[in-house]
A and B are shown apart, each in its own frame.
Chain A
């Protein structure tokens, strides 16, 4: 009887404990363009406790770990650009206690950005490669710095800890409740929901990376829009960045959904940003052109393309390298990246097929992702005419690109090794051997790829039946 009473009590309060519903978005209370004031968070009213200090230590340790693992990019041009935009976004706001703002690019293909409570703002190379201009980056940094100003990580940590303790208590209570057919379906369901809720990981740093509660995210969007507007950036750029995220997520299956993509829903966030921008139109706002942006973040995009190719995201690699190459058509490095991307695309189509876009197709793709190695996936695609056709087109495109670089820069060694890889893939071993030999003649013996190409040359010569000769 007592257990049933407890269950009813818990059932009544459960929605309050686990509710994550966001309040309805309204732009009615938004300030006008002329008098925009950027919120600066709880200010001195926020008192640090031991739990907060522990979290701060944890954040500092995460910074150190990223550095140690080589995840932080140290390209001078990229760093200078991030610092310039970041400082502009946080300008004229008092820096909270225990915060030192640092803006960093982190080597990670997942499209994401996150803030640690100590002021470290990380933008992944995946996101940098996706954005189109300075104002969009300012929107991202404005959003993330707002999490720091508003002390969201500390507040979330305190809240999660309370919830975790509650969940554990509820778990004990649920297990103590009598089980059997005499119980109502509601009580059984209630017990199941507590068990499920208890399974949610509550490591706050991980939560920080994946996102905060919907309320906090809405607040960060709102504050971020205000911050970028105050810094004279066009606030409509934030809405555009949500559009880019939406489009990019349709390219291929991703095992980990970035928080930016669906929490809260992108369409809601885009609508909110658009409404804000429409009420804050002025002639002095800047966006920044795409070419300058891409030039500044080119190191991140180049890294990203390589990372995409290493993680079965060839379509994304093609799209990103095509954009880079179109913007800087005379740069042979970017053309080679595009050629490499087409070569790696193999039997995959450049964009998802109609079948892949269906619910069933997506489910099948997901299964294959975990069941097959990349080579097996390619072999399977080659079994159908669509895959064979895609392979022919992609290889032809890659060959054309490699040859165009060789035509304009005959001594560009990477074009020869790339062409060698392509010929080897096509089974043209003699042609591959010639290209590898040319590469080895051009590169010094200390190049990192020297040993690999030497081995490949030996292999293709063996396959072609030619005498073994290594220059």
Chain B
């Protein structure tokens, strides 16, 4: 092989491996000790509307994937609920009236308000999630304005964000290197005390590199195990007995 071709082959291989290595993001979770110690029991969860956002990056730039995002949102919602139920947790919906007498508009406004508060706190929460242990973050006792909070132990926020990268863009990534040229997806699950609004658990789960673009169609395969592991770690629902022992 001529020298020039050999150097080119080495460069392409090095860039490829470098981009693969940088694309892998570890999953992690933080929770307040009162959850794992048994002081705070999670038997009923109130689900906030799930937020799933997908975008496609091609050689022609970024494109929205609104329909796919909507489908993925439903998939994520069903998956998280199913795993919570399997863990023995009763599910309530944030937009349920539950004989509260509140109107749809009133409940919708409270949901928006709580999402806004969560968004505010997320700025600092994302920076120092371990401070959950110090009871540093709260969405305020406005959490109790939701009708479901009367019966729920926690309010659950689920957010998914993914980027699907086209073949052309990936190929360019191999040549050029740098971030943003691979597909990825992240699922963030946050639990707030339904009474006080204090954030008590926060998990971030990233898709394994081996799944590539498949995270949309194989959401269960990508996140299922990680969710079960997380719920066991938090000792929620049926895992409560384990906590007592």
Listed in ascending order, the chain A residues whose CB lies under 8 Å from chain B are: 58, 61-62, 65, 69-71, 74, 107, 160-161, 163-165, 168, 171-172, 175, 195, 199, 201-203, 205, 255, 303, 306-307, 310-312, 369-375, 444, 446-449, 451-452, 455-456
Q: Which residues of B contact A62 (CB under 8 A)?
A: 66
Main SS of the interface on chain A? helix
Which of A161, A199, A312, A448 is close to B120, meaning CB atoms less than 8 Å apart? A312
Q: Which residues of A contact B142 (CB under 8 A)?
A: 452
B18-26, B27-35, B106-114, B206-214 - interface stretch? B106-114
A61 vs B68: C-alpha distance when bound (angstroms):
11
Q: Evaluate contact between A61 and B66: CB separation under 8 angstroms.
A: yes
Q: Which residues of B contact A168 (CB under 8 A)?
A: 59, 169, 172
CB distance from A300 to the nearest CB of B (A): 13
A449 vs B100: C-alpha distance when bound (angstroms):
11
Pick the 10 closest A-B CB pairs, nearest first. A164-B61, A202-B61, A446-B101, A61-B66, A70-B108, A452-B144, A203-B62, A310-B116, A175-B176, A161-B60
Q: Which residues of A contact B55 (CB under 8 A)?
A: 203
Cβ of B64 within 8 Å of any chain A Cβ, yes or no, is yes
Q: Evaluate contact between A172 and B172: CB separation under 8 angstroms.
A: yes
Cβ of B241 within 8 Å of any chain A Cβ, yes or no, is no
Q: Evaluate contact between B176 and A448: CB separation under 8 angstroms.
A: no
A/B pair count, beta carbons within 8 Å: 103
CB distance from B10 to the nearest CB of A (A): 15
B85-93, B121-129, B184-192 - interface stretch? B121-129
Contact flags B59-101 to A (C-beta < 8 A → 1, else 0): 1111110110010000000000000000000000000000011
Give 15 A-B contacts (CB < 8 Å), ordered by A residue. Answer: A161-B60, A161-B61, A168-B172, A175-B175, A195-B178, A201-B62, A203-B64, A205-B64, A303-B109, A306-B113, A307-B113, A370-B123, A373-B136, A448-B100, A452-B141
Contact flags B116-150 to A (C-beta < 8 A → 1, else 0): 11011101100100000000111001101101011
Cβ of B195 within 8 Å of any chain A Cβ, yes or no, is yes
CB distance from A169 to the nearest CB of B (A): 9
Contact flags B177-200 to A (C-beta < 8 A → 1, else 0): 110100000000000000100000
By the criterion of a CB under 8 Å from any partner CB, how many residues of chain B are at the interface?
48
Knowing A61-B66, A448-B147, A456-B141, say if A165 contacts B109 (CB, 8 Å): no
A165 vs B169: C-alpha distance when bound (angstroms):
10
Listed in ascending order, the chain B residues whose CB lies under 8 Å from chain A are: 49, 55, 59-64, 66-67, 70, 100-102, 105-106, 108-113, 116-117, 119-121, 123-124, 127, 136-138, 141-142, 144-145, 147, 149-150, 169, 172, 175-178, 180, 195
Q: Evaluate contact between A311 and B102: CB separation under 8 angstroms.
A: no
CB distance from A306 to the nearest CB of B (A): 7
A370 vs B120: C-alpha distance when bound (angstroms):
9
Q: Evaluate contact between B144 and A455: CB separation under 8 angstroms.
A: yes
Which of A164, A311, A371, A375 is close to B127, meaning CB atoms less than 8 Å apart? A371
Q: Evaluate contact between A164 and B60: CB separation under 8 angstroms.
A: yes
A165 vs B63: C-alpha distance when bound (angstroms):
13
Q: Which residues of A contact B180 (CB under 8 A)?
A: 199
CB distance from A274 to the nearest CB of B (A): 36
A255 vs B149: C-alpha distance when bound (angstroms):
31
A171 vs B177: C-alpha distance when bound (angstroms):
10
A107 vs B108: C-alpha distance when bound (angstroms):
11
Q: Evaluate contact between B63 and A448: CB separation under 8 angstroms.
A: no
Q: Closest residue to A202 on the B side, CB-wise?
A: B61
Q: Closest residue to A165 on the B side, CB-wise?
A: B60
Q: Evaluate contact between B109 and A171: CB separation under 8 angstroms.
A: no
Q: Evaluate contact between B109 and A164: CB separation under 8 angstroms.
A: no
A199 vs B101: C-alpha distance when bound (angstroms):
49
Q: Which residues of B contact A74 (CB under 8 A)?
A: 105
A69 vs B123: C-alpha distance when bound (angstroms):
22
Q: Evaluate contact between B141 and A65: CB separation under 8 angstroms.
A: no
Which of A70, A175, A452 is close to B111, meaning CB atoms less than 8 Å apart? A70
Q: Closest residue to A447 on the B side, CB-wise?
A: B101
Q: Evaluate contact between B113 and A451: CB separation under 8 angstroms.
A: no
Q: Which residues of B contact A199 (CB under 8 A)?
A: 180
Q: Which residues of A contact B119 (CB under 8 A)?
A: 311
Q: Closest residue to B58 on the A side, CB-wise?
A: A164
Which of A161, A375, A448 is close to B106, meaning CB atoms less than 8 Å apart? A448
Which of B64, B120, B121, B149 is close to A451, meaning CB atoms less than 8 Å apart? B149
Q: Evaluate contact between A370 and B64: CB separation under 8 angstroms.
A: no
Which of A69, A172, A255 is close to B49, meaning CB atoms less than 8 Å apart? A69
Q: Evaluate contact between A446 and B112: CB separation under 8 angstroms.
A: no
Which of A163, A310, A369, A449 is close to B123, meaning CB atoms less than 8 Å apart? A369
Q: Closest residue to A65 on the B side, CB-wise?
A: B66
Q: Which residues of A contact B195 (CB under 8 A)?
A: 455
